[in-house]
Structure formats: C-alpha cells, structure tokens
Chains A and B, each alone.
Chain A
Amino acid sequence: MVRATSKKNLSSMQVLKTLQVLIQGNYTMQELITKLNANESSPVFNNSVISKYINTCRFCEFDIPKIHNKYFVAGVPFGMELSNSDIVLIENLQHMVQETMTSKAVKLFDKFITKLNRYSNKKIARVEKNSYRITLELFDGAISEKRKINLMLKNKQILECIPCKMVENRGKTYFNVLCNGSERMIDTGRVSGIEILTTKYNRNFSDPSVVYKLRGDLACRYTLRENEQLLDKSASGEITISNRGETRDILLSRLLRYDDKCEIITPIEYREAMKSLLNEALSNYGEV
C-alpha cells in the first residue's frame, strides 16, 4: 500500500504550477500554455484547464486581472499589511532613486515596486521622471567608455576633466573627477550640463587602502566602520586602522575632524594631500 505522505495530488500541483508562472510575469493564454507544457511529458495544460486553474486562484482571493490579453497576479491573499506611513517611506525611496540615480536603477526600483504591489494591501504609485538622470547617465557612460568630459556648471564655469566615479555623501550625489591633475568632488546640483569629449584617457581609478593612526581618547572610543580594519593596537593605546573604499575627499574631511589625534601613515599621496589641505587652511588666516 502506498503511504499518504508519498502521494501527491496532480490537479493541485497543476494549479500551483499555474500560480507560480503567473507570479513571475504577465502572459497571454497561449504563452501560459507553452510555458506550462514545456516541463510536462505530455501537454496537459490547455485553454480550458488553465482557465479553470486561474479561476481556482481567483477563488482563493488572488487578484488575477486580464489586461491586453495578458494575465498576471496583481494581488496575493497572504500579502503584507503596509501602513500609509510605509507607503510614504517607499515613495520617498523611489523619489530619491528617480532624483539621484541612473535609469537602470530607476527601472530596477520600478520592478521592485511592481513586485511589492502584488504582495501589498496598498498600492504604490509609479512616477516617471527623467530630468537630471540623463546627466548621471552621461557621466556613467563617459566612465565606461573612458572618455574625458566637459562639465558645465551653473555659474557658467566649464571644467574639462576625467570622470572617476559617482560618490554619495550625506544624501547628496557628487561627481568625483580629476581636473588639472587634482581630484575634485563636484556637487551634481551645481552641474548644468555635460559634454562627452572624443579624447580618451587611459587610467584606472580605485580607492587605495589608507592607513592611519588614532591617539588619545579618540582611540579609546573609536568604533570601526564597515570598510575599516584594525591593524594594530599599541601598549600606549594608539590604534592603527586600514580603510578601503572611502572616497578621498570624504575621508580627508572626516580625518580633519579628528584634530591632531589622527595621523595618516600611508599612502604617501594621502599624507601629502592632508598636508596641503592644512597648509591651504592656514593660509586662509595668513599663516604660511
């Protein structure tokens, strides 16, 4: 005798298979038939069978509309209860993606929202927004093609530079560029246009590993960040940290805050950059 636990119900399996396919995307009846029969030894799925199975899912409170001849799951009965404030947060994230990220990111986020809408009791709106993103995409494109660019700034200044990468700092997006041999961070809000030049550059950019020492009470209370590693702790309480992946200007600005309790050890360019920042800062006060 076959035990109940080894038996399965074929009809149930076919309903669940239909549901599984519908959760993945939007399909016409013909596409559903082809897709579902693809894994069967004989064609068990036909128009009337699939219609019955779709009705079964609808009976179980799955929202399966048919729009432009395509069936899809618009809502599931075991979805999540999102509050109005959750929706506002998701829309804020969506707004941030649209305002500050590339169209690839926008598309991915839209896909995520479509998916979330299926599982949510409340629907999240999708808004199209194109302004400003084009500039980000041109910058991204220039990096991948290794082409120099002209950045047009709102104060009418034009900077010919090498695009290094896009950087986030405190909720704002910056273009990290190499201009006249020195690295600069340009707030994207100051950029009015971008021109990709035909001139190519041949350099790879990656943030080096930066090693610095912290002293005194700062060393005692310092909490390592995700991108930091403790290299050494001396008997006097000094700690040596290695940092990778933090953009140079952001890191230097942070280390400046630490006063004379911090010293950059390597690389030498970062030591020099810090020295030059301090010289420049002192020259503001007439101290050479």
Chain B
Amino acid sequence: MLNITEKTELNQISLTGARAIMLLSLLIQKPRTLEEIRTELIKLGVLFPDHSNDILRIDLNTLRTMGCEITHATAKTGFKYVLKKHPFSLNITPEEISLLKKVYKKVKNVSNLSILIKYDELFNKLAEHVTETDIKEQLYGISALKSFQHEFIKDLMKDCQTNQVLKLVYYNPDTKKTNQKDVLAQKLVFQNDKIYLWGFDFNKNEAVTLNIKRIKSILSRTLYKGKIDVNYTCVKFFLKNFCITEIGEDETIVETCKDGVWVEGKYHNEFVATQRILSFGPYCIVHEPQEFREKIIRKLKNMRKIYNG
C-alpha cells in the first residue's frame, strides 16, 4: 500500500491531513489497535515518537466526523479499531448493479463453468471494496454460482478431465433417499442455473445426468483406464427459421436451406435429447432415427390430450 520515502516537500502538504488519510488506509487494510496504528504511522513519517496517543484519537474522531464508521476499541474487537464503512470507497449505484445483473445474465449463458467461476470471484472482489451493505449483498448475489462451492466444482471439472470414477452418495428426490453410485465423470454442464455432471453409471450401465447439488459426498476417486462406449442419442432434425432456441454445442448444422437448417444432435442420453427436441416445439421436425421420431410424436399426442380434455 503506502510506501512514502520522499518527504522533501513537507511544507507543501498538510501533515495532519496526510496522517488522517494514512490512518484511513491502514484501517482499510485491516482492524488495528492504537499501538499498531502508532507504530505504522511513525514508520510512515507522519507521526513522531513524542506525539501522544490523543493525537491519534483526534484523528479517528476526525474520520468519524467525515462519515467513516469506526468502532471503538473494546475487548469485543480485541481492542482494535474496525472500519465498517467510509465515504471514499468504491461507490456502485443501484442502477449500475441492475445493469451488471442484466449483462451478466447475457454472458452467463454463453460462458463455460471456468469463466463463470471467475465472474463469481470478480463480483466477490468488487463487493469487498464496497462498504454499502445493501450494494455489497447485491454484488454477492449476481453470480449464478453464488450457492455453489467453487472447490467442489473445480474438483469435479478435474475429475472429468482425468477420467475418474467417483464413488458418490447421491440424493434421489423421487425416493427421498440417498444411494451410492459408481460414476465415471465425463462432463460438467451449466444449464438453467444448475450444474450437472454427465457421466456413466456402472451400476445401471447407462449414461446419467446428475444434479451436483444432490451429490452429498464423494467417497473415493479411482482413475479409469478402460474405455466406455457411450451410447449417445443421435438425432437428425430440421429446424425452421425463427426458432428462438440457439444451436447448442452438442448440435451441428449439416445443411442450410431457405426455410431453416438441418441439424445433427449428439446427446448424452435419450432423456436430454427428448427434452431438447420438445423445447423447439413446432419449429422442429425429427427425421432420424425413426424410433425416436415416433417417440416424439407419441409424446406430443399425450401432451395434446391434456389440453383437449
């Protein structure tokens, strides 16, 4: 922080003013006792050893008069002065917060998890430099990962990269019970403000999608050296123009026509494929495979029944 070595023009500055600013800077760094403040200010050359502690108390009072909220040094604070709030901090307005929220909402859907973790850290960093409690809380609340533990996400990302089989305890909301699973970690996906672990369940012998909030604990990690032939659900469909849903990273445009695009989707499992195709509504026509096409027709008919009844 402050590192004052040049003091040749002391007559051109207000020494007491400089001392007040340096005192503020010291308290911004961390809470300090009167003795600690005294030592630091003497080192910085703005307080002399023969000065009494009353001078420092007056400086603290001056800061308070200027709008700084500084606690008293009591046993509760370890006899340290704690700066709670000050008028020289970064002042982010509610309008700016609202704009940050809007723009973050736009970028979060086009960012991967590593980037989202960095955004989360950035908002936390900004919040640390704001003293208004309300604004601070709003900054902490912008990130979609606010309720996730970064370390846990980072570990899972690493597991996916290094082919780890996780022995994990998973909560099933349908049965309201936890069960143990052996899952090969394949991909971590951020979708609709949730994080899913895509993997291969050795007990079920099928591809699974696990909401990471429901992973209660990871009991062990083992390196998997074999090869899993994931049964991706591949679907070829025509997507008409004006569909509001964008092509995802597991989809490839194979041909562009006047009325739309031909797309090949390679989905983690059939459930993911079905949800995806249904979300396109009337803008999508499934062509292959025939079995999946019929399944979609059946589902659409069942859905229509609800509204015809």
Most chain A C-beta atoms within 10 Å of own C-beta, residue among B66, B92, B109, B128: B66
- Which residues on the B side are within 8 Å of A6 (C-beta)? 61
Partner-binding segment picked from B8-16, B155-163, B217-225 = B8-16
- Residue contact A279 to B22, C-beta cutoff 8 Å: no
Partner-binding segment picked from B100-108, B197-205, B261-269 = B100-108
Count of CB-CB pairs between chains A and B under 8 Å? 242
Chain B residues 71-128 with CB under 8 Å of chain A are: 87-88, 90-92, 95-96, 99-100, 102-110, 115, 118-119, 121-122, 125-126, 128
Determine the distance from Cα of A5 to Cα of B293 in the docked complex, in whole angstroms.
80
Determine the distance from Cα of A89 to Cα of B114 in the docked complex, in whole angstroms.
12
Given A9-B62, A20-B66: A169 and B17 interface contact (C-beta under 8 Å): no
- Residue contact A89 to B17, C-beta cutoff 8 Å: no
Which single residue of chain A is at the shortest CB-CB distance from B86? A78
Task: Check if B25 is an interface residue, CB within 8 A of chain A.
Answer: yes
Given A170-B110, A170-B246, A271-B307: A55 and B13 interface contact (C-beta under 8 Å): yes
Determine the distance from Cα of A19 to Cα of B193 in the docked complex, in whole angstroms.
42
- Residue contact B304 to A279, C-beta cutoff 8 Å: yes
- Residue contact A284 to B65, C-beta cutoff 8 Å: no
- Residue contact B61 to A80, C-beta cutoff 8 Å: no
A contact face: mostly helix, strand, loop, or mixed = helix
Which single residue of chain B is at the shortest CB-CB distance from A60? B21
Task: Check if A240 is an interface residue, CB within 8 A of chain B.
Answer: no
With beta carbons under 8 angstroms apart, the residue of B29, B104, B246, B300 that contacts A278 is B300
- Residue contact A53 to B20, C-beta cutoff 8 Å: no
- Which residues on the B side are within 8 Å of A263 (C-beta)? 306-307
Partner-binding segment picked from B132-140, B181-189, B227-235, B276-284 = B276-284
- Residue contact A220 to B21, C-beta cutoff 8 Å: no
Determine the distance from Cα of A77 to Cα of B193 in the docked complex, in whole angstroms.
37
- Residue contact B90 to A281, C-beta cutoff 8 Å: no
- Which residues on the A side are within 8 Å of B307 (C-beta)? 263-264, 271, 274-275, 278
Most chain A C-beta atoms within 10 Å of own C-beta, residue among B2, B62, B65, B293: B62
- Residue contact B88 to A56, C-beta cutoff 8 Å: no
Interface string of A217-231 (1 = CB under 8 A from B): 100110101000000
Determine the distance from Cα of A191 to Cα of B129 in the docked complex, in whole angstroms.
41
- Residue contact B62 to A280, C-beta cutoff 8 Å: no
Task: Check if A38 is an interface residue, CB within 8 A of chain B.
Answer: no
With beta carbons under 8 angstroms apart, the residue of A8, A59, A77 that contacts B65 is A8
Give, as a whole number of angstroms, the nearest-CB distance from B38 to chain A: 14
Task: Check if A68 is an interface residue, CB within 8 A of chain B.
Answer: no
Given A78-B25, A108-B96, A282-B301: A15 and B17 interface contact (C-beta under 8 Å): yes
- Residue contact A260 to B299, C-beta cutoff 8 Å: yes
Task: Check if B18 is an interface residue, CB within 8 A of chain A.
Answer: yes
Give, as a whole number of angstroms, the nearest-CB distance from B48 to chain A: 16
- Which residues on the B side are within 8 Å of A92 (C-beta)? 107
Interface string of B237-248 (1 = CB under 8 A from A): 000011011100
- Residue contact B58 to A13, C-beta cutoff 8 Å: no
Top 8 nearest A-B pairs (CB, nearest first) are: A15-B17, A280-B282, A4-B54, A12-B20, A171-B110, A275-B307, A4-B57, A171-B109
25 CB contacts below 8 A, A to B, read A12-B19, A17-B66, A23-B88, A52-B12, A61-B3, A62-B21, A76-B88, A80-B90, A85-B118, A86-B121, A89-B118, A105-B99, A108-B95, A109-B96, A119-B129, A168-B105, A220-B173, A221-B174, A256-B279, A260-B303, A278-B300, A283-B282, A285-B285, A287-B297, A287-B300
Residues of A within 8 A of B (CB): 4-9, 11-17, 19-20, 23, 52-53, 55-57, 59-62, 76-80, 82, 85-86, 89-90, 92-93, 96-97, 100-101, 105, 108-109, 111-112, 115-116, 119, 155, 168-174, 184-187, 190, 217, 220-221, 223, 225, 249-250, 252-254, 256-257, 259-260, 263-264, 271, 274-275, 277-285, 287
